[in-house]
Amino acid sequence: MPEPGTITLERVKENPHVKAFIQKGDENLEAMGFTEHSFRHTKLVADQARQILLDLGYGEREAELAAMAGYLHDIGNVVGRHNHEHIGAVMVFKIFADMGMPPEEIAVVISAIGNHDEREGHPVNPASAAVILADKSDVHRTRVRNKDFSTFDIHDRVNYAVVDSRLSVNTEKKVITLTLKIDKSISTVMEYFEIFLTRMVLCRRAADFLGFTFSLVINDSRLL
């Protein structure tokens, strides 16, 4: 059990600023035509990031910090999509400082948030690597908000084509695997790589940082 006063994910979830910023950020992205980034996504990334580090033998506190970073990684969308990772890191610094989190723990969380985007991100600590893997594995048709199939762009098609997505950790073989099932009548595997190649490269770097190999399996075929 955490000591009294320790900042935990459950306390973070109840913070009114966190609630408002994540909800409004998702609304902003919907207005701009982006896929879903709701509390479902934040919870999934938090849970997966925590589990990755626990599976790899990291301590409970380090896994908790990864979970907090995963839950808050997209909070910067409340300001704008461009540079949302850096904006979010600054926002979380203020939130956590006000909550009384130790500076060294704040540093871990904001480093993970600031490095999760594929354009400039890089795994810099175990929490950041776990958040990258958890975030980039959340591709699925339920994230598509556009209901008019005739107007789908390539991002809508690729996400909608993924009918199953699973991230697994094999500690014996030291492999982290993203397994996807894609309906090729909706989108080709090549289209997946067209928009997600940089994300998969970042996942490979994240797995490497953790001492593992990253593997991508699509429709039972190992591609990476």
Q: What does the pLDDT average to over 191-199? A: 92
Q: Give the integer Cα–Cα distance in Å for 204 and 176.
A: 9
Q: What's at 41, amino acid-wise?
A: H
Determine which helix (DSSP H) or strand (DSSP E) holds 135, and give its type and residue range.
helix 126-136
DSSP state of 166: E
**Closest to 66 in 3D by CA, of 45, 83, 84:** 45
Q: By 3-state DSSP, what share of the chain in percent is helix, strand and coil, each rounded to 5? A: 60, 10, 30
Could you say which of 1.20.210.10, 3.40.50.410, 1.20.200.10, 1.10.3210.10 is the CATH number of the domain covering 9-222? Answer: 1.10.3210.10
Average pLDDT, the chain: 95
pLDDT tens, position by position, 110-119: 999 999 998 8
- 49: its two tokens: 């990031």
Q: What does the pLDDT average to over 92-107? A: 97
pLDDT number for residue 86: 97
Residue 5 has pLDDT above 80, yes or no: no
CA 45 to chain centre: 5
Spatial contact of 135 and 128, defined as CB atoms under 8 Å apart: no
Query: What is the pTM assigned to this prediction?
Result: 0.94
What percentage of the chain reaches a pLDDT higher than 70?
98
pLDDT tens, position by position, 41-61: 999 999 999 999 999 999 999
Domain residue ranges in the chain: 9-222
pLDDT number for residue 149: 87
pLDDT number for residue 3: 59
Q: Give the integer Cα–Cα distance in Å for 52 and 210.
A: 10
Q: What pLDDT band is residue 76 in, cutting at 50, 70 and 90?
A: very high
DSSP state of 3: P
